[in-house]
Amino acid sequence: MQALTCQEFAPIDAHSVESVAIPVAKPHEVLIKIEAAGVNFPDGLLVQGLYQMRPAFPFTPGAEVCGTVVEVGVEVKHLQPGAKVIGWCMLGGYAEYVAVPSNLVMPIPDTFDAQQAAALMTAHATAHHALKQRGQCQAGDIVLVTGAAGGTGTAAVQIAKQMGATVIAACSTDEKCEFAKAQGADHTINTSTQSIKEQAKAITHGQGVDIVYECVGGDIFNQCVSALGFGGRLLVIGFAGGEIPKFSVNLALVKSIAIVGVYWGSFTQHDYSSFQENMAELMGWFAQGTIQVHIDRVFTLQDANAALSYVASRQVKGKVVLVPK
């Protein structure tokens, strides 16, 4: 089969698609023939050695896929060959086939669009877990989302609205702000021309926001701390801006705020029952059309490096998807 193969940590364009053996499903795994794979910002960091996970070489990036089960391990009882599924594979998605632990594979209706389904897990499931378990989002909360036109930011806008929150979307251009509005945002802030602190205070009549879903880092993080109201929660999602901020903990004391880390991949391993409940709720919303995945661009597997570079450029509105052919 063909797979993007990383022999060493190197710039994105240094990696190549190579012929490798098709994996064999272990006893608790299923082998999926991939129809589509989601492309995420951390994938580009991973291949450069800039992510917190550092796999052994050689490895293939790609964490989320949609496809058809073609082989099941001897211990797998709930899935059969021929089932259409989505899977959280952590690695291996930029390929034609991937073996995935069966507990991280979910059957989906044949009517689901494969590209949208493939791009659903990482961004939307992260946003869902962040807002539900980590942020304790309630109807009536005011939620500020940074990087709100990107994959996980778009998901957070949609899911916060689904939970009954008022959403403020912070984006770097007017075009992205308009896109965030189309995803359901009630208010927008252009971070290139406006102050997050000042705009958030104006929108909330000086009270500050209840939750910040923070994807960017750097000075944006610092502005978001200032935008929080008393007892607010700042959810640390990532650092798409490239700078990991430093936080003065005395501010947590003075404002009685919480800085809360979010790592969905670890959550799937440590709280499997909540993960299952979340996915059932998320898939229900998706089936009803109350949340959607906006596909910005589709790349072939042979152009995987171009897909990673495009996502790394932070120009994406919504999600990027890879297809094997």
Q: Where in the chain is the domain with CATH 3.90.180.10?
A: 2-120+293-323
pTM of the predicted model as reported, rounded to 2 decimal places: 0.92
Q: Residue 51 has which token pair?
A: 């992510």
Distances in whole angstroms, Cα of residue 80 to Cα of each of 68, 102, 130, 164, 320: 10, 11, 32, 38, 29
Residue type, 248: S
Q: Where in the chain is the domain with CATH 3.40.50.720?
A: 123-265
CB 129 within 8 A of CB 278: yes
Q: How far apart are CA 225 and CA 91, in angstroms?
A: 34
Distances in whole angstroms, Cα of residue 41 to Cα of each of 7, 203, 320: 20, 30, 10
Residue 249 CB neighbour total at 10 angstroms: 8
CB 92 within 8 A of CB 98: yes
Write the pLDDT tens digit of every residue in 251-310. Answer: 899 999 999 999 998 999 899 999 999 999 999 999 999 999 999 999 999 999 999 999
Write the pLDDT tens digit of every residue in 194-221. Answer: 999 999 999 999 999 999 999 999 999 9
Write the pLDDT tens digit of every residue in 67-122. Answer: 999 999 999 999 999 999 999 999 999 999 999 999 999 999 999 999 999 999 89
Question: Any idea which architecture 2-120+293-323 has in CATH?
Answer: Alpha-Beta Complex (3.90)
Q: What is the CATH number of domain 123-265?
A: 3.40.50.720
- Type and span of the H or E element at 177: helix 174-182
Q: Residue 88 has which token pair?
A: 């959280």
